Chain A
Amino acid sequence: MTGWMGKILRVNLSNGEINEETLDSQVARDFVGGRGLAIYYMLKEVDPNCDALGNENKLVMTTGPLTGTRAPTGGRYMVTTKSPLTDAITCSNSGGNFPAELKKSGFDAIIFEGRAAEPVYLWINDGKAELKPAGHLWGKDTHETDDAIRAETDNKAKTAVIGPAGEKRVLFASIMNDRDRAAGRAGVGAVMGAKKLKGVAVRGTQKVSMADEERFIEINQKYRGRFKEVKKAGPYPLTTHGTAITVVATQAHGVFPPRNFQTGQFKEWEAIYGEALTEKYLVKAKPCFSCPIACGRVTKVPDGPYQGQGEGPEYETVYSLGSDVGVGDLAALTKANYLCNELGLDTISMGSAIACAMELYENGHLSESDIGFPLEWGDGEALVKLTQQTGMREGFGDILAEGSLRMATRYGHPELAMVSKGLDLPGYDPRGTQGLGLNYATSPIGASHMRGDLPYCELLGVPVKIDGLTWADKPPIVVKWQNVFSLIDAAGLCVFFSIRYLCDPTLEIRPEGIMNLLNAATGADYGLDELEKIGDRILNAERLFLLRAGFDRRQDSLPARFTDTPMPDGPAKGVVCHLDEMLEQYYQIRGWSQDGLPTEEKLNDLGLAGM
């Protein structure tokens, strides 16, 4: 095989057995890799009704055929498991250098099963894998763990580890790789903690072989050239200011969520957006493996009560630990971001849970005696304190650690949790981004912006600008975009480059560049229709897992705040998200019944009937 390494590592944590398996070439062709390969194994091997934190659940780390190659942004991997936060399937994507190193260590994927009796970490040194004791690392934060594991193995090793939050099964604990990159969403770190797996360290010097090396180099230069041309015309916003520059667009459209999405504009936005970060705390931009953009931020808060250094904040964090909790103090939210990275917490769900608690407190459903101190909107000190408490499951943090929906239900007001399928919303109000509203509700993992990112066209003007307030035109766009995003996640690429430079610059986003790179790498001779169908197959396979876990149309939903309460002010004033109307058309286009079930014919067409 070329492009693929052709090997899967299976690690049974219960008995310590480690086995290599051959990657089936037909499975590789049909599911590509990354998110696709992972759902193939999850559907085949995991009972969707299992306890997410029990022995039966598996944790699958997958790369794609373009991971570890010089393809632009060819440095992503996917972590897939049943989520303890949502009980749905979840897959969480991350970049950095760990994914490429994992691939170059000789494996396309690792499947973890069972549970270790005592803490362990997995060490893969160029194809040789062993489990090593990690009792001495238990309790350490993610940075300390990275330091210790590299000292014990190889200083050049790359790691993916959990912090105290994963060990203590905080339901939205992340897996941090390369210290500050996160597979953050829906509690993948809690599953790792439940398995007593502290980390994975990899060292790899193997080359990802190419079916047609010359052609790969030629087209790689062509696509990188497209980016260079745009960059030549003026500073590239993502490189200069990171993803937090996106606030400009969300605030202008009135979809930048303040105070648990109560309105659509945050009056202190200029204090926390990308340019403020650049001016005050940016040390340098940091790229992931093979990425020409470099949107990562190395930052330092030099003095004051929130002094510290690390990476971030990105856009989603500026929303979740900033506007959503009413905090306009960039130092405080940056400090809370550093703590999330070190403790191993998803910044989106952390901020969203605190925002939910603040609204419960505002309405008198939570009291000072419940929390231990007052919890007013905009209190940066409380934000930092609660983040620390959550990561350690101390004090009120033990309740926040269960996530916003469980907490809001406990205090009698589940409607105040801003979630879909139990997963907290990213930072775009779906009343002003109708297509994204449909996306949130139908994303297999719950409210994710990375499963068909409509803000690109509804807010950011990439590849073209459309109106975020219209809804009748959105279902066909959402279906197409969800399919292509599945493909990007399967190939091992980052959406930031792929959407703008590897896809047709229309709403069709036909993935010609991805096809060309995949074909040169794998020799699979994929066609465009076939690749779009693979995206569709991945989505439907994930849907099957969800349905078997007990989900149906009722969970393809949004909080009533978005569907029943018109936006109170700003450019989207008076608008609700027309989810039900969009869903009907969405199901039709997908080939699903109005109950949200894929038809027999659809499953046959996608080759999923037997799964």
Chain B
Amino acid sequence: MKVHVDLYVNLKKYAPANGSSFEIQLESGATVKTVLKVLKIPANEKAIVLVNGRNADESNPLKEKDTITLYSPISGG
């Protein structure tokens, strides 16, 4: 299945070539953890995870056309 990934702030450096907003192909049954693995995001890199703009965590299962958003914790606004 194809999912969309948006990486922001310090997570941008894990993007493949051609920008930090991209699509990736995953096997069915994939979770957010699969995305972190595919993008080689280390466990100690703190990331806020959203799936389709909703709160999610690593175990969140994914489906076709989901959007996964990852960004660093930001303290302030």
Say if the beta carbon of A507 comes within 8 Å of chain B.
Answer: no
> Using Cβ atoms and an 8 Å threshold, which residues of chain A touch B71?
248-249, 252
Our pick among B44, B45, B74 for the contact of A237 (Cβ within 8 Å) is B74
> Using Cβ atoms and an 8 Å threshold, which residues of chain A touch B9?
237, 241, 245, 248
Asked if A462 and B74 sit within 8 Å, CB to CB, the answer is yes
> Using Cβ atoms and an 8 Å threshold, which residues of chain A touch B44?
233
Say if the beta carbon of A81 comes within 8 Å of chain B.
Answer: no
Q: How large is the interface on A (under 10, 10 to 19, 20 to 34, 35 or more residues)?
A: 35 or more
Cα A238 to Cα B54 with chains together (Å):
23
Our pick among B6, B45, B77 for the contact of A252 (Cβ within 8 Å) is B6
Cα A250 to Cα B48 with chains together (Å):
13
Cα A249 to Cα B47 with chains together (Å):
12
> Using Cβ atoms and an 8 Å threshold, which residues of chain A touch B72?
234, 237
Residue of B nearest to A498 (CB): B75
Say if the beta carbon of A253 comes within 8 Å of chain B.
Answer: yes
Count how many chain B residues have C-beta atoms less than 8 Å from C-beta atoms of the other chain: 21
Asked if A571 and B53 sit within 8 Å, CB to CB, the answer is yes
> Using Cβ atoms and an 8 Å threshold, which residues of chain A touch B54?
467, 469, 571
Residue with the highest number of chain B CB atoms closer than 10 Å, among A238, A428, A465, A496: A465
> Using Cβ atoms and an 8 Å threshold, which residues of chain B touch A316?
77
Asked if B76 and A243 sit within 8 Å, CB to CB, the answer is yes
Nearest CB in chain A: distance from B20 CB, A: 10
> Using Cβ atoms and an 8 Å threshold, which residues of chain B touch A570?
53
Asked if A571 and B52 sit within 8 Å, CB to CB, the answer is yes
> Using Cβ atoms and an 8 Å threshold, which residues of chain A touch B76?
238, 243, 246, 293, 295, 315, 460, 495-496
Asked if B53 and A460 sit within 8 Å, CB to CB, the answer is no
Cα A191 to Cα B71 with chains together (Å):
42
Say if the beta carbon of B18 comes within 8 Å of chain A.
Answer: no
Asked if B10 and A253 sit within 8 Å, CB to CB, the answer is no
Say if the beta carbon of A466 comes within 8 Å of chain B.
Answer: yes
Cα A456 to Cα B44 with chains together (Å):
21
> Using Cβ atoms and an 8 Å threshold, which residues of chain A touch B75?
238, 456, 460, 462, 496-497, 499-500
User: What are some 5 contacts across the A-B interface (CB < 8 A)?
Assistant: A245-B74, A248-B71, A252-B50, A252-B69, A253-B53
Known: A237-B10, A237-B72, A465-B55. 15 other contacts (CB 8 A): A233-B44, A237-B9, A241-B9, A248-B8, A253-B50, A315-B76, A449-B77, A453-B77, A460-B77, A462-B74, A462-B75, A469-B55, A496-B76, A571-B54, A572-B53
Interface residues of A (CB under 8 A from B): 233-235, 237-238, 241, 243, 245-246, 248-250, 252-254, 293, 295, 315-316, 427-428, 449, 453, 455-456, 459-462, 465-469, 495-497, 499-500, 570-572
Interface residues of B (CB under 8 A from A): 6, 8-10, 44-46, 48, 50, 52-55, 69, 71-77
